Amino acid sequence: MAATSKTELLSITRKEYAKLEKLIGMLDPEVALDKDEEETSIKDVVAHRAHWIDLFLGWYADGQAGKPVYFPAEGYKWNELKRYNANLRQAQEGLDWADAVILLKEGHEKLVAFIEGQSDAALYGGSMKGANNEWTPGRWAEAAGPSHFRSASKYIRARIKAKT
């Protein structure tokens, strides 16, 4: 069930990040860089999650400033996420494992700071400006943070299980 308050959102964000951080901390870099059958590595997934936090924060800032908000990014539609993510993996190809982990940690810290800086009303009192849907900023933050942390953890656990 989705969070409906700042307190719940902070709690689930911290909880899901802690689970992911624990998994990440157990990985050898060579395991994190190993590609699966779809040419995606754990490093790619971790860097992707960090990127999407920045996307959300950018969407929010643009909406608050009255600027156009491009979902998911300028030049892409939601039904083109596969192409967007492939281009993102290519753009992040030069990142090493340590850099990807740092990006995720920094993204988590920025997300927590964002949430802490908002009131319940700002997070859940109405639709996010510029989003053109009914999702609140809190719901978008949950999608960019804890939901993504949970799916990354699931992916990592599956990759670890496949190796044993």
The pLDDT assigned to 159 comes to 93
Taking a C-beta distance cutoff of 8 angstroms, is the pair 72, 85 a contact?
A: no
- Determine the 3-state secondary structure of 41 from DSSP: strand
With a CB cutoff of 8 Å and minimum separation 6, the contacts of 134 are 127
Count of structural domains within the chain? 1
Query: Encoding tokens for residue 8?
Result: 């719940």
Indicate whether 111 belongs to any domain. Answer: yes
Q: What is the CATH number of the domain that holds 51?
A: 1.20.120.450
Please report, rounded to a whole number, the percentage of residues in the chain having pLDDT higher than 70.
99
Query: Encoding tokens for residue 5?
Result: 């308050």
Residue with the two structure tokens 């849907």: 133
Taking a C-beta distance cutoff of 8 angstroms, is the pair 45, 155 a contact?
A: yes
As a whole number of angstroms, the distance between CA 105 and CA 155 comes to 18
Indicate whether 1 belongs to any domain. Answer: no
22-79 pLDDT, tens digit each: 999 999 999 999 998 888 999 999 999 999 999 999 999 999 999 999 988 999 998 9
163: pLDDT strictly greater than 80: no
110-130 pLDDT, tens digit each: 999 999 999 999 999 999 998
Residue with the two structure tokens 């609140």: 136
Range(s) of the domain holding residue 158: 6-31+39-163
